[in-house]
Amino acid sequence: MGDSSLFSTEQASWGRVAYRLYACTILAGICMILYYRSTHLPATWQEGRWTWIGLSLAELWYAFYWIITQSVRWNPVYRRTFKEKLSQRNEERLPNVDIFVCTADPFAEPPSLVVSTVLSFMAYNYPPEKLNIYLSDDGGSILTFYAMWEASQFAKYWIPYCKRYKVEPRAPAAYFSLADGTNNTSNHEWLDMKILYEEMTNRIDSILASGKVPEELKANHKGFIQWTPEMTSKNHPPIVQILIDGKDPDALDNDGNALPTMVYMAREKNPEYHHNFKAGAMNSLIRVSSVISNSPIILNADCDMYSNNSDSIRDALCFFLDEQKGHNIAFVQYPQNYNNLTKNDTYGNTLSVINEVEMRGLDSWGGPPYIGTGCFHRREILCGTKYTKDYKEDWNRGSKRNPRVDIRELEEKAESLATCTYELNTLWGHEVGLKYGIAVEDIITGLMIQCRGWKSVYYSPAQKGFLGVGPTTLAQTVLQHKRWSEGNFQIFLSKYCVFIYGHGKIKIGLQMGYCIYNLWAANSVPTLYYVIVPSLSLLRGIPLFPNMTSPWFVPFAYVMVGKQIYSLIEALLTKEITVRGWWNLQRMWLIKRLTSYLYGTLAAFLKTLGVSKMGFTLTTKVSGEDSLKRYEQENIEFDTSPLTLAIIVFVALLNLACLVGATSCAVMEGWAGVLERYFLQIVLSGLVVAVNVAIYEGLLLRNDKGSIPWSVTFTSLGVVMLVCLVPIV
C-alpha cells in the first residue's frame, strides 16, 4: 500500500551550516561590543558619559532584538502538497468552503476592484455547488451592492470561460491586463469576454461617479428596496441578500453548470454601539454564513487580494484532510504578495524576506501567525474550539440545506445575527470568533488559537496563491505600518504578551518569532537615538566608538558590515528584490522606524493606559493619475503629514550637516587623526546621508506636486541649526 500522505514537510539543508556559523560569529561580536561599552565608560559627564550610556542601551536593545530574529532563521521548513492524491478522491466527498471578502468604503476600495476579486474566487477549480462567496460591506453602500449584482450576472459568462480555457489568474482585471487572447483561447471569444467585462466595469464606475443607482436599475433586483435615503455608512439596519443561491437547481451558468452561492452582507451600524472594525465584520460573517452554508472550511481575503492560483483550495485541503498529520492543523496561511510593486520597490513594501524566510522559520516552531488575508480556517476552531486528541471534523457540514427553503426567510434569520445588539453579553470577540480590542485582530486571534493547542501551516506555492494592491505613496506606506506596528506592540503590552500568555502553551521559538513583529514599534526609540546622537557627537568632537587601530574596532566593524552583507544576500536570494530594491528597503527601514513605528509606540502606550481608544484608518487603494505616474517612475510621493516629513527631513539634514562639519574638521586638522578617532561615526552618518539621497532630491531638485514643501524644509533646517548649537554630554 502506497503512501497516502497529502503533503510533505522538508527542512532546509542548503546554507544552514554556513548561516549558523555566521550567526555564532555575529553573536560573539555583539558580546564583545557590549563588553567594551560596559568597560570603557567615559570618566566624566563632559566626555560624553550620558551619551555613551544611551548608546549602550540602544546597542543592548539591538542585541536582544537580533537574538529574537534568529528564531525564524535557524531551521526553516518547506511544504509540498500532493493534489493528485486529493483529486483521486470522489469530488462529492470534498468539503464545502465559505469565502469571506471584506470591504468598507466604495471610494477608498472601488467596487470594480472588489468585483474582480470576488469573481476570482467564484471561478476556483472546485465544485461550484460547494463554494459560497460572502462579501461584507462595512460601508453599507448601495453602490457596492449594485456592483455585486452586476458580478452575479457576469459570473454566468466568466466562470465557464475560465474553466473551459483554464485561464490564470481568474480575476478578470488582472487577466485582461496580462493576456492578449492568443493563449489557449480564440481571439474572437477572448475579445467578446473582454468587451463584456469592460462594459460591466464602465457601468459600475459610472454609477460610482454619479453616487447613486438609477431608479430603473433598482427595479432589477428586490434587494435595492432595503436602502432608504436616511441610511448612512455609520447608521443603517442589517442587510443580507443572497444574490445567487447555489442550492437552487435553476442557478446555472451559460454552460448549464451550477453556480457558487453569492451573498452580500452589510451588518447593522449604529453610532451608539462600537462596531469593532474588521474583526466585527468577520464575526458577523461567521454567524451569517452559519445559517446559509455553514461550511467546515472558511477562507478570508481582503477585497484587493484576488486569487492568482485556481487550485489554492485544493492545496489547503491537502493539509486539513491528511489522515496522519492534518488532525491538529487549525489554519493554512498563504503569503501576502503585491502585484503592483515597481521593479525596485520604491517604498520597500515587498514582504519577500518575511514570506520566504521568516514565515518558513515560524512554520518550524508550530506555525505562522494568522495575517488577516489569504488564510484558510476550520470554522469550529475559529469559533473557539480547543484542541483535543479525539477531535473529529465533520466534513459533511453545510451540505444538507434544503434547496427549497424560502430565501427571504433565510435572509431575515441571517440579518438577525448581524445586528449591533446580538453580541452583547456573549463571548463573541473574546473567546469566540476574532478577538476585539487590538488593532491587529488577526495576529492576536491566531496566537489565541495556537495557545489552545492547535498548529498552523505556511504554504507558499511557486504560483502565488493571492496577489493584492500595495501602497503607492509614502503616506499610504506610513499609515499601513503605523497600524501594524501599533497593534503588534499593543499585544506585547497587554496580558496577551506572548512570553506570558504563550508560556507553556507554545514553543519558545514561536514566542520569539511573534516578538519580531510585536516589537517592531519598540525599535523606533533606539533607532532615533542612533541616527541623531552619534552624528551630533561627531560634530562636537566626542568619540563614541573605538579608534581604528584599536583591537576593539574589529567587532564593531564586523557586526556592522556582516549584518548588512547578510541582509543583502538574504534579500537577493528571494529572487524578488534587486540590489537597488534592497537599498530602497534600507531607506524605508529607516523612515518607518522614525515615523510609523514611533507613532505606533506612542499610540500603543496611550491605549494601554486608557488615554485613547482604538481606531482604524483604512488604507486607500486609489491614487491620482499624477501620483501613479510618479510611482511608476519610482519617484517618492512626499504626500504625508508635515510632522512626518519634518522628522524625515530633520534626520537627513542633521546627518548631512554633521558629515560636512566632520569633513571640514578633517581638512583643517588632517584626515589621519580624524579618521583614527571618528571613522565609525563618519561611516554611520555617511550611510544615513547615502540612503536619504531621495530625500535631498525631494528637497532641492524636484518641483512636482510630490516634492517636499518648502515650509517643511525651512522648519526642519531651523530645528537642525538649533540642535547643532545645543551642547550634548
Q: Are strands 77-81 and 7-11 parallel, antiparallel or unpaired?
A: antiparallel
Residue 301: strand pairing partners: 101
The mean per-residue pLDDT over the stretch 65-88 comes to 92
CA 188 to the chain's CA centroid? 39
Give the pLDDT confidence score for residue 1 in this predicted structure.
43
Burial class (CB in 10 A: 0-12, 13-18, 19+), 425: exposed
Q: What distance in Å separates the CA atoms of residue 527 and residue 593, rounded to the nearest whole number?
A: 7
Q: Are strands 329-333 and 375-378 parallel, antiparallel or unpaired?
A: antiparallel
Contact at 8 Å (CB) between 283 and 423? yes
Q: To the nearest whole percent, how much of the chain has pLDDT over 90?
A: 80
Q: Helix and strand tally (H, E) in the chain? A: 27, 12
DSSP code at position 637: -
C-alpha pair distances (Å), 355 with each of 71, 297, 360, 507, 587: 15, 23, 7, 21, 20
C-alpha pair distances (Å), 226 with each of 141, 255, 413, 579: 11, 32, 16, 54
Give the pLDDT confidence score for residue 401 in this predicted structure.
62
Neighbouring residues of 711: CB distance < 8 A, sequence distance ≥ 6: 642
Burial class (CB in 10 A: 0-12, 13-18, 19+), 42: middle
Neighbouring residues of 397: CB distance < 8 A, sequence distance ≥ 6: 95, 96, 294, 295, 296, 379
What confidence category does residue 396 fall into, taking pLDDT thresholds of 50, 70 and 90? Answer: confident
What confidence category does residue 623 fall into, taking pLDDT thresholds of 50, 70 and 90? Answer: low
Query: Does residue 624 surpass a pLDDT of 80?
Result: no
Which alpha helices (DSSP H) does 440-578 contain, by range? 441-451, 474-493, 498-501, 508-518, 524-540, 553-573
Q: Which amino acid is located at 647 in the chain?
A: I
Residue ranges per domain, the chain?
41-70+509-616+625-725, 96-388+411-470
Helix (H) or strand (E) holding 333: strand 329-333
pLDDT digits 0-9 by tens, 562-592? 999 999 999 999 999 999 999 999 999 999 9
What confidence category does residue 14 fall into, taking pLDDT thresholds of 50, 70 and 90? Answer: low
Contact at 8 Å (CB) between 387 and 452? yes
Q: What fold, for 96-388+411-470?
A: Spore Coat Polysaccharide Biosynthesis Protein SpsA; Chain A (3.90.550)
Instruction: Please provide residue 235's backbone torsions phi and psi, each rounded to the nearest 5 degrees.
Output: -155, 95
Query: Long-range CB contacts (< 8 A, 24+ apart) of 53-62?
Result: 54/529, 54/533, 55/529, 55/530, 55/533, 55/534, 55/544, 57/526, 58/526, 58/527, 58/529, 58/530, 59/33, 59/34, 60/34, 61/522, 61/523, 61/526, 62/526
**What's the farthest any 2 CA atoms get from each other in the chain?**
92
The mean per-residue pLDDT over the stretch 159-181 comes to 90
The mean per-residue pLDDT over the stretch 17-45 comes to 94
Query: Does residue 618 surpass a pLDDT of 60?
Result: no
Length of the chain in terms of residues written: 729
Instruction: Please provide residue 8's backbone torsions phi and psi, each rounded to the nearest 5 degrees.
Output: -130, 155
Contact at 8 Å (CB) between 617 and 495? no
Is 315 tagged catalytic? no
From the candidates 98, 137, 442, 639, give the one annotated as an active-site residue: 442
From the candidates 98, 137, 138, 322, give the one annotated as an active-site residue: 138
More confident residue, 648 or 622: 648
What confidence category does residue 114 fall into, taking pLDDT thresholds of 50, 70 and 90? Answer: very high
Q: What distance in Å separates the CA atoms of residue 202 and residue 216, rounded to the nearest whole number?
A: 17
Is 138 tagged catalytic? yes
Quote the mean pLDDT of the chain. Answer: 92
